[in-house]
Structure 1
Amino acid sequence: MLATLQDVIAYLGQTVGLVGDAFGKFSSPTVLAYVFGGTLLGITIGVMPGLTATMGVALLTTLTYRLEAEAALLVLVCLYVGAIYGGSRTAILLNIPGTPANAATTLDGYPLARMGRAGPAMGTATTGSFLGTLIGMVFLATIAPKLADYALEFQTHEFLWLAIFGVLISGQLTAMDDPLKGWIAGFLGLAIAMIGQEGLYMTDRFTFGFTEMQGGIGLIPAMVGAFGFSEVIAVMYNRRAEIVRASVRLLDVVPDPREVLRYWRTIGRSGVIGTLIGVIPGVGEDIGAWVSYAAARRASREKEKFGKGSVEGLMAAETGNSAAAPGALIPVITLGIPGSAPAAVLLAAMVLHGVRPGPMIMIEFPSFVYEVVVMMLLAAFAILVLGIALTPLLLKVLAIPRERLMPIVFVLCVIGSYAIQQRMFDVWVMVVFGIVGFVLREMKYPMAPLVLGIVLGDIFDKSFRRSWVIHDGDFTFYLNRPISLVLMLLCAATLIMSIGPCRRYLGPKVEGAVQGTIGVVTGLVRAHLVLVALLFAALAALVGLPVRGLEAGGAGFARGVRLAASAYAGILRDAATAFGRGLAGLVIAPLADLARFARRPGPPSADRGEQA
């Protein structure tokens, strides 16, 4: 026991030393400009409802292409952390989450603002975001190196099932009421990743004769379109102006240290939960906030205040979503699998700047993990300073109509998509993914599984083909490796846990399809029986000709034909009706969401309002 404790202390001391060494690379005045500039831009993006952290990171990735790797990633990390924090401002003042990660913040932040405590509520959010980022940073510094060493044991079989598990768990947790929609989005992303030349034999797939598609779909243009241009289309389609003017005194925003002492258990619990949620592939900061909020409510002595203006609930939500940001980078760095949608874009930015995340990271770039830890630390202090000092100025951003910002966003989308490879093809990719992203969002399909599917598609494809070739199609080999077996069981458990929500969503559709199919089969059987009866009637009429005479036999034959034909026509009509029902259940029902979206009338133009 003593030896184990000594090993832990030695490891922590070594980690602190390595973080200190990495800190030396970020001690110049230029670095401070990057830190505060990136964080300020992130907070501004978070303050604007509809502008997400993912969109901001995707757009800025293209604009930081010419910077050195450390400087570019520093700006992107600071923007990421700043955007998650900035969304709390509108969540508290307007009951509108600036980013999806701040949805849980509205439950108690807005009631506090209505009580006249908007300033202290924003101070609580600042404290929670700062401490949550620090907690996640500690996990990033201590867990990521060990996880990278463990990931060296992974082979193609483990990466295959890890990719499948990432898509399944992301689809389930981001669309809890309807996991099927999350899975559809995730596997659509996997299918998109299959476009281009495959990795083993360089065979073209789904290129349709376009040479530009042989290298696959560019991740950055796709992400810019899915999260940037889709928002432009959404604003054009909805035409809802949300303009609010609010005022808060600067001194009211200063965090109260007594809250840390009072809610230290909630802060620690929410920080750990948020970090662990962030590690799960594709789940994201919003789930971290909701789970942390639910855990705080269960453990609180003041449950009745939650949802009515609880400082503890606000602290839990903001600590959870901020801790999930460093947590989402743990699988990015060690496995090459993003923990959230913004982390997926950061993964693409790392590859763009020559850093290859994955199990070899501690061998090829041993100091990179600790450099990211320092980036997170600098971003945490930046949101603490800027969140207090610039709150009155940032609140004025709320008065800018979104429709005036969207042309700027569109121009940045076009420039960013074109700048990386100077190809108009990437601009068209951005436009197509913008339309697809808009349609999916309007149909309530989550975007995080789509992003994760595109990122994991290459890992899934290469791992599956290599393992299949190595073992000559022997599927039983997957059962011989413990890690692979554990991942398979996790995939099975994810599917089993989703049976209930899937039954609630698909129950009426499946029931109608089954009944229609049974009707088709029954109708066809009855029709064939009537056909047999018709043949027997004709035979009886022919047999009756010499017995009863030509006239009687002809009349009997005609009567039998009329009766049989009438019955046969009725059965065919019933069979056709049943077949139509079955077709509707099996084919048309999955497209019902798209049909409802197409039939939905355009929204009426709304007058702009103001809220004091």
Structure 2
Amino acid sequence: MIEGLSMLGGGIQHFLTPLSLFNVAWATLLGIVIGMLPGLTATMGVALLVTLTYGMPGDQAILTLICMYVGAIYGGSRSAILLNIPGTPASAATSLDGFPLAQQGKAGYAMGLATVSSAIGTVIGIICLAVFAPLLAELAFDFGTYEFFWLAVFGVVISGRLTAMGDPLKGYIAGILGLLVAMIGMESLQAYQRFTFGVHQLSGGIDIIPAMVGAFGFAEILTVMRRRYDAKVLVSQDRVVPRFKDVWRFKRTSVRSGIIGTFVGIVPGVGEDIGSWASYAAARRASKEKEMFGKGSYEGLTAAETGNSAVIPGALIPVLTLAIPGSTAAAVLIAAMLIHDIRPGPMLMIENPEFLYQVVAMLLFTTLAITLYGLSLTKVLVKVLAIPREKLMPVVYVLCVIGPFAISQRMFDVYVMIFFGLAGFILREMKYPMAPIVLGIILGTLLDTNLRRGLALTDGDPTPFFTRPISMLLFGITLLVILISIPVVSRTIKRLCLALGLHGKLWGKARHER
């Protein structure tokens, strides 16, 4: 504990330099602007910024990317409150109560409350990151080839299930597409080229950065340009800094939403939007003012913003301990860490234990930055929303082209970006989620390598994949998630639960009468 606090103090001191503070200031502000502009997502912002940080020192590069990440998730609440158009998917739940408050003339106060709630959610997630990451890193040493295989399978399955609640099959198909993309190129055990079709540029596989810039950047451009909209920005003159009593009144909601958001972040590939909706639903169930939700509830706004911000530190827990992303933006962070010679995973706490607490310090600095920007520059930042999206998209397109090219100076990566952009646009129009595809690309190599390595160790016997304790647990959870997504099984389980609940009530009533 004392050693952890000492390393945390060292991490904070490490970034108390003019250069670091300058990077925090501009990266957080840029993140807020990207987040608040409909059509520009946090993942897109982080992916584009990776290419601009290529020449930076590793710690400064990760600092700017995390600031961009936190700022963009927070910034989405601006347009959600003022325009009823979430700047990022994570802010969809925020618009349910934020926009009604703006219509009531409380736009400034709603944005101030959202700012404080985002800061509280991030701090709760930071505490969980500092506490649970070292524990999970120790547990990760019990993971072998068989466990990592099932961990990769579980990540793709749970991401597909939770990002496509209406049609889980589409989520699973998206995850499988990502895994298939990951199979392209030279495999790691025998150095054999697979699925290259004679194209020598594919021998090194598909680089994650061009793929993600295409899927989240170029595809978003096509989507935005296809769906024009006219929105009038609401301008308010009410107070921005929230009253302490309003913050304190919902302390339980904040803590509950922060914990929910953190644990949603730990689940591979799920993301901030699920954390926001889960927190909002939990707050509504527990609230004494359920009828106010969706009509301008301070409690609903607090829950949504606390939940989505807490996901960010939560998503970094599996990144640092298992090298598995908790969200799509976290997947980009893994790629950025590898580019800057930082190896996330179980060995991080042995090879570079200070880095974990440096990440905690990064999150603390950017939390302070979003609080200052949110409470002092709200009315200035609102003017950014008046910029037509059609004028921003050409700039974003130029960045989408320059970014992938800058990493390896290959036009082939630009073609990869365009291909994934077109494919991503078509899949979005067909209501397929993007997160499982990205997670499949990230986890595909882990899944493939550990499957074949495990079979090689046992001469083709798959038994250890199902008999080792942790493997058995992960296999059981994965199978359960798949079974629950089958409508017949889901309905049967619901009926069984209702029957057991009714039986419990009748038994309790009979016992009471006796």
- Normalised-by-shorter TM-score class: over 0.9
Whether 1:349 aligns to 2:345 is no
Q: Which amino acid aligns with 1:245?
A: V
Q: Deviations over 1:483-514 (max 9, x none)?
A: 0000000111101110118999xxxxxxxxxx
Whether 1:339 aligns to 2:330 is no
The answer to whether the 8 A contact 1:341-1:448 is kept is: yes
The answer to whether the 8 A contact 1:178-1:502 is kept is: no
Q: Judging changes above 3 Å, is the alpha-carbon distance between structure 1 residues 489 and 79 closer, same or farther for their aligned structure 2 residues?
A: same
The answer to whether the 8 A contact 2:34-2:45 is kept is: yes
Q: Which amino acid aligns with 2:234?
A: A
The answer to whether the 8 A contact 1:178-1:501 is kept is: no
Equivalents in 1 of 2:152, 2:304: separation in Å?
29
Equivalents in 1 of 2:231, 2:19: separation in Å?
36
Q: What's the % identity of the aligned pairs? A: 60
Equivalents in 1 of 2:310, 2:222: separation in Å?
32
1:111-130 equivalence runs, <5 A: 111-130=100-119
Q: Which amino acid aligns with 1:463?
A: N
Q: Which amino acid aligns with 1:296?
A: A
The answer to whether the 8 A contact 1:170-1:449 is kept is: yes
Deviation at 1:339, TM superposition (A): 0.5
Equivalents in 2 of 1:16, 1:259: separation in Å?
32
Name the structure 2 match of 1:104.
93
Q: 1:480 aligns with which of 467, 473, 478?
A: 467
Name the structure 2 match of 1:248.
236
Q: Please, what TM-score do these two structures have when normalized by structure 1?
A: 0.79
1:182-261 equivalence runs, <5 A: 182-238=171-227, 240-249=228-237, 252-261=239-248
Name the structure 2 match of 1:47.
36
Name the structure 1 match of 2:434.
447
Q: Which amino acid aligns with 1:247?
A: V
Q: List structure 1 runs of 4+ shifted beyond 4 angstroms.
A: 501-504
Equivalents in 1 of 2:221, 2:470: separation in Å?
44
Whether 1:83 aligns to 2:88 is no
The answer to whether the 8 A contact 1:241-1:403 is kept is: no
Q: Judging changes above 3 Å, is the alpha-carbon distance between structure 1 residues 286 and 502 closer, same or farther for their aligned structure 2 residues?
A: farther
Q: Deviations over 1:569-604 (max 9, x none)?
A: xxxxxxxxxxxxxxxxxxxxxxxxxxxxxxxxxxxx
Name the structure 1 match of 2:278.
291
Deviation at 1:389, TM superposition (A): 1.7
Q: Which amino acid aligns with 1:244?
A: K
Q: Which amino acid aligns with 1:196?
A: G
Deviation at 1:236, TM superposition (A): 3.0
Q: Which amino acid aligns with 2:182?
A: A
Name the structure 1 match of 2:504.
none
The answer to whether the 8 A contact 1:128-1:319 is kept is: yes
Equivalents in 1 of 2:48, 2:245: separation in Å?
39
1:99-498 equivalence runs, <5 A: 99-238=88-227, 240-249=228-237, 252-498=239-485
Equivalents in 1 of 2:103, 2:224: separation in Å?
28
Name the structure 2 match of 1:35.
24
Q: Please, what TM-score do these two structures have when normalized by structure 2?
A: 0.94
Equivalents in 2 of 1:43, 1:242: separation in Å?
22
Equivalents in 2 of 1:495, 1:503: separation in Å?
10
The CA RMSD measured in Å over matched residues stands at 1.3
Q: Which structure 2 residue ranges, 5 or more long, are not aligned?
A: 492-514
Equivalents in 1 of 2:415, 2:265: separation in Å?
32
Q: Judging changes above 3 Å, is the alpha-carbon distance between structure 1 residues 502 and 225 closer, same or farther for their aligned structure 2 residues?
A: farther
Equivalents in 1 of 2:145, 2:457: separation in Å?
10
The answer to whether the 8 A contact 1:219-1:454 is kept is: yes
Greater length-normalized contact order (CA 8 Å, ≥ 6 residues apart): 2
The answer to whether the 8 A contact 1:241-1:402 is kept is: no
The answer to whether the 8 A contact 2:106-2:236 is kept is: no
The answer to whether the 8 A contact 2:34-2:72 is kept is: yes
Q: Which structure 1 residue ranges, 5 or more long, are not aligned?
A: 1-10, 505-612
Count of residue correspondences: 491
Deviation at 1:243, TM superposition (A): 4.3
Q: Judging changes above 3 Å, is the alpha-carbon distance between structure 1 residues 210 and 382 closer, same or farther for their aligned structure 2 residues?
A: same
Equivalents in 2 of 1:399, 1:286: separation in Å?
25
